Amino acid sequence: MSEKDPEATVQMPAGRSDEPVFSEDGVDLTLIRWMLSLTPTERLEVLQEHIWSIMRLRGEDTET
Amino acid sequence: MAKTPKPNFIATLQTLVRHNVDFIIVGGVAAAIQGATISTFDLDLVHSRNPENITRLLEALDELEAHYRIPGAESLKPTRSHLESEGHQLLMTRFGQLDLLGIIGSGTGYAELLPDSIEENVAGIKLRILKLAAVIRTKEQTGHDKDKATLALLRRTLEERNKSRK
């Protein structure tokens, strides 16, 4: 898997105006709906890239 | 400071599948594949503990250069007896952290989890993944604070999945 362009923008799916943005317990439902719009492979890639970003922010020296 | 292996879940999973290891993806990675916006650094798997599967798993772990990540035990490699046990083997591999779990939740192993799993095609490989409802149930049973913290997110993800399928 290759790293994607970090400058690339995320395409959020258009939501319906009658859909709540947050659940009653404060969960951001728009992010969940965006994740669900992706394929399982894309979801795993999102997780992978997220943790790589965290490691870069932490300044961790990683083997590639 | 020692370099940390760059986590690569897909490379780890590809290696295990190439060695025909029977396992179920559980925990945060299973939840993420099913749409949860969750972050985790380790790959949690429940493996079949039958002798033939342990043999295949040991071969895969050798290729992954797996060793324990417990401080002071980094030179230890998992053995057959470790993998046959119900315990949790917390490993580091050349592709990042890998947790091999004999049982999870209230004592559930591979065979009991199979009916609660689904097969998904991820990155061109067929993977067996614990259903989101079962991931939630397991975290409820475990009762750890870190698991409780993710429950609201997982429950809302399950609701949204169910809505989008109607």
Query: Which DSSP helix (H) or strand (E) runs through B125?
Result: strand B125-130
User: Which of B3, B39, B156 lies at the smallest CB-CB distance from A50?
Assistant: B39
d(CA B157, CA A23): 10
Statement: residue A3 has pLDDT above 60: no
d(CA B23, CA B91): 16
Q: Report helix angle B145-165 to B132-142, nearest 10.
A: 160
Q: Would you place residue B164 in the very low, low, confident or very high pLDDT band (cuts 50, 70, 90)?
A: confident
Q: In this structure, what token pair is assigned to residue A59?
A: 């300044």
- Which residues in B lie closer than 8 A to residue A64 (C-beta atoms)? 6
Alpha helical stretches, state H, B64-104: 80-84
Average pLDDT of span A17-39: 90
Residues B7, A48: contact at Cβ < 8 Å?
A: yes
Collapsing DSSP states into helix, strand and coil, what is residue B26? strand
pTM, 2 dp: 0.90
Residues A55, B40: contact at Cβ < 8 Å?
A: no
- Which residues in A lie closer than 8 A to residue B135 (C-beta atoms)? none
Residues B45, B60: contact at Cβ < 8 Å?
A: no
Q: Other C-beta atoms within 10 Å of B28: how many? A: 22
Statement: residue A6 has pLDDT above 90: no
Q: In this structure, what token pair is assigned to residue B47?
A: 């493996």
Q: Does A43 touch chain B (CB under 8 A)?
A: yes
Closest Cα in chain B to A20: B160
User: Which of A43, A52, A61 lies at the smallest CB-CB distance from B35?
Assistant: A43
Pairwise CB contact (< 8 Å): B36 & A23 = no
- Which residues in A lie closer than 8 A to residue B7 (C-beta atoms)? 48, 51-52, 55
> Tokens 């690339």 appear where?
A8
Return the sign of the alpha-carbon dihedral for residues B34, B35, B36, B39.
Answer: positive
Residues B29, B40: contact at Cβ < 8 Å?
A: yes
What are the pLDDT digits (tens) for B29-62?
999 999 999 999 999 999 999 999 999 999 999 9
